[in-house]
Amino acid sequence: MSGPRIRQAHSTIPQPNRRELTAAIALTALSLGGLGRPAAFAQAPERIVVAGGVITEVIYALGLQDRVVGVDSTSQYPAQALRDKANVGYVRALSAEGVLSLKPSLIMVVDGAGPPDAVSLLKESGVKIVTIDDGQTPEGVVAKIAAIGAALGAAEPAGRLAAETKARFEELSALRAAITQKRRILFVLALQNGRALVGGRNSSADAIIRLAGAVNVADTIEGYKPMTEESIAAAQPEIVVMMRRGAGDHAIKPDDLFALPAFARTPAASERRLIQMDGLYLLGFGPRTPMAARDLMAAIYPEAAIPPLKTAAAP
């Protein structure tokens, strides 16, 4: 691309005069000086405060984390985000002065960050605020990545990541199309005194179950809600999905779960089918989501030998 332009320059201006030469040297010096920082984005915002784990995840995926000075407490992936950056608190309970104390030049929040009073104070402060739509569909995830890239002046690498993610979703959709007999899944967010808090319709759990080519048996419930024992027994889930919470006491063992009266008579219990996955990976709805959905699919349909996504890098 630069080749023809140089040739043209030579043809029209055979003898560069002194002023042009000085300007060229100065420009070269300037661009060399900019090499310390990512030269391509030299004029882009340098101090970013992020409220919303998925934004942090995308920024790290784009390798732009050096420009981030603060993240919120939901920014748990990658793990070093909360280790390396200041923690501005929970995404819906931000402190206006706390955020401003990091001297941000750009504040990126997911829609629903708050409280509204703090956000309006931040807007008054004159710092640029970008709100990212937190969609939980493949289109939503792709749009999210593109929007984050656009806000960072990194549209090109973000566009690449978005395109890769889109391709992975398409590949996933092809895998999904091959599933003829959809299994019935119950997502259990938590067990409170033996009562199950399940993921119903319009929850992130519901979205990932659909992406994995399965049926959510709790879709008569809206959001994350407790489900009665009888309804669980009547829903006849073939598989129970839960979040993995490290080793310790929090890990649920299949024997414990299926000993509960609500679960004892379900098909899931008779086959001892409990899938446990990392919660953020499973429900984060960022660039890793196609892989998470594929992994869930592989766990739900082990006999189908679901292949890994071809375009997928290691998560």
Partner 1 sequence: MTSPALATLIAGRRRAGLVTIVGFALACLLLAVVAVGQGAIAIAPSRIAEILLAKLSGDAGLLEARDVLVVLNIRLPRVLLGLLVGAGLAVSGALMQGLFRNPLADPGLVGVSSGAALAAATTIVLGDRFLAGTMMKLPFAALPLGAFCGGLVTTLALYLIATRGGRTSVATMLLAGVALGALASALTGLLAFISDDRQLRDLTFWSLGSLGGASWTKLSVVAPIILPILMLMPFLARGLNGLMLGEAEAYHLGIPVQRIKALAILLVALAVGASVAAAGLIGFVGIVVPHLIRLSVGPDHRLLLPLSALGGAMLLVSADIVARLIVVPAELPIGIVTAAIGAPFFLWLLLRRTSLIDV
CA-nearest of 171, 177, 146 to 159 is: 146
Minimum Å gap between C-beta 262 and partner 1 is: 19
Q: Is there binding between residue 118 and partner 1 (CB under 8 A)?
A: yes
Q: Under a CB-based contact definition with an 8 Å cutoff, are residues 286 and 58 in contact? A: yes
If the CB atoms of residues 124 and 303 are measured against partner 1, the closer one turns out to be 124
Residues in the interface with partner 1 (CB under 8 A) total 35
Q: How far apart are CA 61 and CA 200, in angstroms?
A: 30
Binding piece for partner 1, criterion CB under 8 A, among 15-23, 39-47, 81-89, 292-300: 81-89
Q: Which of 76, 87, 173, 311 binds partner 1 (CB under 8 A)?
A: 87
| Half-sphere exposure for 271 (CA within 13 Å, toward CB) | 11
SS (H, E, C) 207-241: HHHHHCCCEECCCCCECEEEECHHHHHHHCCCEEE
Binding piece for partner 1, criterion CB under 8 A, among 24-32, 123-131, 228-236, 294-302: 123-131
Q: How far apart are the first and last CA of the chain?
A: 34
Cα–Cα distances (Å) from 255 to 29, 104, 142, 192, 269, in that order, read: 68, 50, 39, 17, 9
If the CB atoms of residues 224 and 281 are measured against partner 1, the closer one turns out to be 224
Q: Is there binding between residue 98 and partner 1 (CB under 8 A)?
A: yes
Q: How far apart are CA 9 and CA 11, in angstroms?
A: 5
Q: Is there binding between residue 96 and partner 1 (CB under 8 A)?
A: yes
Q: How far apart are CA 298 and CA 8, in angstroms?
A: 57
Q: Is there binding between residue 139 and partner 1 (CB under 8 A)?
A: no
Binding piece for partner 1, criterion CB under 8 A, among 55-63, 86-94, 180-188, 259-267: 86-94
Q: Is there binding between residue 89 and partner 1 (CB under 8 A)?
A: yes
Q: Helix, strand or coil for residue 103? A: coil
Minimum Å gap between C-beta 238 and partner 1 is: 26
Q: Under a CB-based contact definition with an 8 Å cutoff, are residues 73 and 92 in contact? A: no
Q: Which of 8, 120, 137, 220 binds partner 1 (CB under 8 A)?
A: 120
Binding piece for partner 1, criterion CB under 8 A, among 97-105, 236-244, 252-260, 271-279: 97-105
Q: Which of 42, 44, 86, 163 binds partner 1 (CB under 8 A)?
A: 86
Q: Is there binding between residue 92 and partner 1 (CB under 8 A)?
A: yes
Q: Under a CB-based contact definition with an 8 Å cutoff, are residues 99 and 49 in contact? A: yes
Q: Is there binding between residue 93 and partner 1 (CB under 8 A)?
A: yes
Q: Is there binding between residue 115 and partner 1 (CB under 8 A)?
A: yes
Q: How far apart are CA 60 and CA 76, in angstroms?
A: 12
Q: Is there binding between residue 300 and partner 1 (CB under 8 A)?
A: no
Q: How far apart are CA 66 and CA 82, in angstroms?
A: 13
Which 40-79 residues touch partner 1, going by CB under 8 A? 70, 73
Which 199-238 residues touch partner 1, going by CB under 8 A? 202-203, 222-225
Residues that bind partner 1 (CB under 8 A): 70, 73, 86-90, 92-102, 112, 114-118, 120-121, 124-126, 202-203, 222-225
